[in-house]
A and B are shown apart, each in its own frame.
Chain A
Amino acid sequence: GAVVSQHPSRVICKSGTSVKIECRSLDFQATTMFWYRQFPKQSLMLMATSNEGSKATYEQGVEKDKFLINHASLTLSTLTVTSAHPEDSSFYICSASILAGAYEQYFGPGTRLTVT
């Protein structure tokens, strides 16, 4: 149980284009979803927290106009990287919590974004 999927697993895009990453909870309804970014050999850094039907809360230093997050349903959240640049190349990972206020987060398999 508590399976989270991400699509695509890998994506290569050209500089200046936008790319959308989907995060789905497959066997549960996720009240809260989180988006992380992980650079090579580094830890996970929280980008934003999203609750279904409301605006995402972004961490300090994360541009909300560049990283658009939509949590339209209890099983789907999307992250759109707009006007991507090579420095946006990273491993993007989402996670989901089953209950509001629950501590446990279940992570997706990640999406490797490469911007050329």
Chain B
Amino acid sequence: GQNIDQPTEMTATEGAIVQINCTYQTSGFNGLFWYQQHAGEAPTFLSYNVLDGLEEKGRFSSFLSRSKGYSYLLLKELQMKDSASYLCAVQDSNYQLIWGAGTKLIIKP
């Protein structure tokens, strides 16, 4: 079967760094996406990785290791507005997205 695993919830302090991990087992791999979803709102795109390595976009970075079936999203200089759920999604061999349940990130002052 296809499976995406993420921690259910994480807590971090404003101004700190947090790493959200995602492991996957899918039928084929054509890329991994990270989305941010604030409560009651639609997900918004953060990053896309298809090759191994680190992609950096401002305060957010995403890493991929295809051999390990592993990715992480790194958030630096945390702000209160970063409190949200972070969804990991893998594009399988049919180019369909398989979604993780999301990690709820709580930022404390």
B partners with A: no
Q: A-side interface residues toward B, CB under 8 Å?
A: none
Q: B-side interface residues toward A, CB under 8 Å?
A: none
